Amino acid sequence: MTGKGQTSAITSEQRTIGSLLGDKRFLKVPVYQRSFSWTKNEVSDLWDDLQGILYGEEENYFLGSMVFISKSDGSLEVVDGQQRLATVSLLLAAIRDGFQSIDDNQRANHIEMQYLCTRDLKTMEAAPRLSLNEIDNGLFMQVIEKSIDLAELKALQRNRETVLSNRLLTRAYLLLHESIRKASDNFKNTEFLSSVVEALTDSISCIQIITASEDSAYVLFETLNDRGIDLTLSDMLKNFLFSKAGKRLEETKHKWTETVALIGQEYMKTYIRHEWMSRHGQTREKELYKKIKGQIRTNPKAVNYVASLRESAQVYDAIRNPEHTLWAKFGPACQSLLEEILILGPVQCYPLILSTYFARQKELVKVLSWIVALTVRYSIICAKGTGNLETAYARASSQMRLQEVKLKNVQEILGSICPSDEEFITAFKEKTLSSPRIIKYLLAKTEMSISGDDSLIPNPDVLTVEHILPKSPSNKWPSYMRKKEFLEQNCSRIGNLTILTGPMNRDCESTLFSEKKKLYETSKYKLTSELTKLKNWTEKEIGNRQKSLAKRAKDVWARL
């Protein structure tokens, strides 16, 4: 690495933010780079640091290193630094808008033309000095061009259907705009506003690193990340893969974009890890990037890996959507089991589902039934840690891909951590539950095993959880059963829970057991109607009922 003016593949130079944004070379975030991700905390930190300069606490502020690739059209492609550059640009835009709000168009135009954009003299179309990726650039340009007002931005921020990065970008601008407004007496203090611009552009600096080589840029990118720059696994992997794609870059970008669209940016890190584990077994998050990079050293491997990520993404997305058409050919049992997995939430099993789908589709329903049984026994009732569970699923996933391995061997891997009947029953007898979704599922499945009525699979709109001993019992209940300690120990025990329809549940609130029995008798659920055989409802009855439910549950979720 050499200083400015020397011939080298890499040049570095300390520059102020003002000189960087005011450079004739346009700064472009490539379409595949990460979207805007700074939250209120990062934006507020930048504003606070700027205050330190304004009030003499600091003379200068160093914004870190930024990495760029020099392109043939004279522009600089932003490899690292887009979050900082975008936020500084939003702050300058907010100050410009503040000047415009008090009709100080001369200062507003100076900020816009010097740091934000240039305009074509004939068409007056704006050419931004900084452009973001394809997800954020449209909104960013609206802010830079001031073609969107505050009311529209506030509505956009509140709209949950707006892409997350767009909401964050909007929130950043609104936060900075409000901070500037308050600090400048509704933008009337033009001297203060001018001082902010000077501090921002002249007293904040960075190290600008420019290379003509994409490989060199991404090596620097990774090095900076190792030293603490906040980058995600998917960001690093994407940049590495694109740097290897060569002439097939556009194809690779397209498949990556499709993958992100299916999975969701916020789930990409988990998906990449699960997809890798489905082929290679247990891999810790901190070692994943190096392992992938170690195996993908050539252009064809990089392109093929992204293609495999795209192919698996459709299946991974469908796991989270049991009604997906992908499962139709496997029959209703498959969809029902996937619904149960979605209720129970064992994401550690996703690699195994991927492996089974791609390697042994005929065994998919059987494997899904194992997952459900293991989840109820291991996680829901026995409440064991996730470490051994993930390891077992990862090992089973990689084994499932091997043709020489029998399905029985995969079953044994999962069975090795599955609690025994004795352990399961012991844990069940004392179990308390608070999640209505899980309670409905367990009781409805138990009910179905008694009545054979498969229409009782839990539906939140139909079923409600009934606490036989109410959470807030009336004075007619024995005094000892109304004590806080007794309620905490018994109210959420499985033995004290049953299922009803919504209207009937409301009729049962806080009433005595003798009165509740009249309503229980009319219930179509045998778990509920059989309660009418009991004379009283005390701690003893709760315990006895829980023991009975434990024995039934043992058979409903049979050990592998």
Same domain, 52 and 102: yes
Per-residue pLDDT tens for 354-363?
A: 999 999 999 9
Question: In the predicted model, is pLDDT for residue 3 greater than 80?
Answer: no
CA angle 217, 258, 170 (to 5 degrees): 75
Residue 135 lies in a domain: yes
Per-residue pLDDT tens for 376-396?
A: 999 999 999 888 999 999 999
- Of the pLDDT bands very low, low, confident and very high (cuts 50, 70, 90), residue 2 is very low
Percent of the chain with pLDDT over 90: 59
Same domain, 65 and 17: yes
Same domain, 518 and 454: yes
Residue 226 lies in a domain: no
Residue 446 lies in a domain: yes
Looking at the 3D structure of the chain, how many domains does it have?
4
Question: Domain residues for 350?
Answer: 325-419
- Cβ atoms < 10 Å from Cβ of 148: 15
Helix (H, G, I), strand (E, B) or coil at 504: helix
Residue 2 lies in a domain: no
What are the residues whose beta carbons fall under 8 Å from the beta carbon of 192, sequence distance 6 or more?
183, 184
The secondary structure element, H or E, covering residue 76 is strand 76-80
Tokens of 465: 């959880």
CA angle 269, 275, 279 (to 5 degrees): 140
- Of the pLDDT bands very low, low, confident and very high (cuts 50, 70, 90), residue 330 is very high
d(CA 480, CA 487): 9
Tokens of 524: 């179509």
Residue ending a domain, among 397, 419, 441, is 419
Q: Per residue in 162-200, is it b (16+ CB within 10 Å) or e — as a string?
A: beebbbbbbbbbbbbbebbbeebeebeeeeebbebbebb
Same domain, 412 and 461: no
Q: What are phi and psi of 131, to 5 degrees?
A: -125, 145
Residue ending a domain, among 314, 335, 370, is 314
Dihedral angle over CA of 101, 103, 106, 108, nearest 10: 10
d(CA 450, CA 428): 18
Same domain, 387 and 280: no
What does the pLDDT average to over 89-109?
95
Residue among 80, 76, 108 nearest 95 (CA): 108
The secondary structure element, H or E, covering residue 42 is helix 40-54
**For residues 424 and 552, is the Cβ–Cβ distance under 8 A?**
no
Per-residue pLDDT tens for 266-280?
A: 889 899 999 999 999
- Report pLDDT for 322: 92
d(CA 373, CA 395): 18
What does the pLDDT average to over 471-492?
92
Question: In the predicted model, is pLDDT for residue 6 greater than 50?
Answer: no
**For residues 350 and 274, is the Cβ–Cβ distance under 8 A?**
yes
d(CA 296, CA 214): 17
This prediction's pTM: 0.64
**For residues 445 and 556, is the Cβ–Cβ distance under 8 A?**
yes
Residue 66 lies in a domain: yes
Residue among 527, 425, 510 nearest 474 (CA): 510
For residue 110, give the amino acid letter.
Answer: H
Same domain, 549 and 460: yes
- Cβ atoms < 10 Å from Cβ of 287: 10
Alpha helices, DSSP H, located in 416-501: 421-429, 436-451, 484-490
**For residues 429 and 551, is the Cβ–Cβ distance under 8 A?**
no
Same domain, 116 and 250: no
Tokens of 319: 């796991």
- Report pLDDT for 72: 87
- Report pLDDT for 486: 95
Same domain, 169 and 249: no
- Report pLDDT for 217: 62
Sequential DSSP letters for 508-545: TTT--HHHHHHHHTT-S-HHHHGGGG-S--SHHHHHHH
The secondary structure element, H or E, covering residue 107 is helix 105-111
Helix (H, G, I), strand (E, B) or coil at 66: strand
**For residues 559 and 373, is the Cβ–Cβ distance under 8 A?**
yes
Per-residue pLDDT tens for 306-317?
A: 999 999 999 999
Rg (CA), the chain: 31
d(CA 527, CA 235): 51
Same domain, 183 and 64: yes
Residue 1 lies in a domain: no
Residue among 514, 544, 348, 523 nearest 444 (CA): 523
d(CA 524, CA 444): 12
Sequential DSSP letters for 339-385: HHHHHH--GGGHHHHHHHHHH-GGGHHHHHHHHHHHIIIIIIIS---
d(CA 392, CA 281): 9
Residue 336 lies in a domain: yes
Question: In the predicted model, is pLDDT for residue 159 greater than 90?
Answer: no
d(CA 60, CA 23): 21
Per-residue pLDDT tens for 205-235?
A: 888 988 886 666 666 665 555 443 344 678 7
d(CA 100, CA 459): 55
d(CA 431, CA 26): 63
Helix (H, G, I), strand (E, B) or coil at 6: coil
Same domain, 101 and 38: yes
Residue ending a domain, among 419, 447, 462, is 419
Per-residue pLDDT tens for 485-531?
A: 999 999 999 999 999 876 666 666 657 888 888 888 988 899 999 99
What does the pLDDT average to over 357-378?
97
Same domain, 54 and 83: yes
Question: Half-sphere exposure of residue 15, counting CA atoms within 13 Å on the CB side?
Answer: 19
- Report pLDDT for 7: 38
What does the pLDDT average to over 136-161?
91
Same domain, 31 and 133: yes
In the chain, what is the greatest distance between 2 CA atoms, to the nearest angstrom?
94
Residue 218 lies in a domain: no
Dihedral angle over CA of 59, 65, 71, 76, nearest 10: -40
Question: In the predicted model, is pLDDT for residue 119 greater than 90?
Answer: no
Question: In the predicted model, is pLDDT for residue 168 greater than 70?
Answer: yes
Question: In the predicted model, is pLDDT for residue 8 greater than 60?
Answer: no
Average pLDDT over all residues of the chain: 88
- Cβ atoms < 10 Å from Cβ of 388: 13
Q: Which residue has the higher pLDDT, 123 or 204?
A: 204
Residue among 340, 323, 326, 328 nearest 374 (CA): 340
CA angle 60, 61, 63 (to 5 degrees): 150
- Of the pLDDT bands very low, low, confident and very high (cuts 50, 70, 90), residue 11 is confident
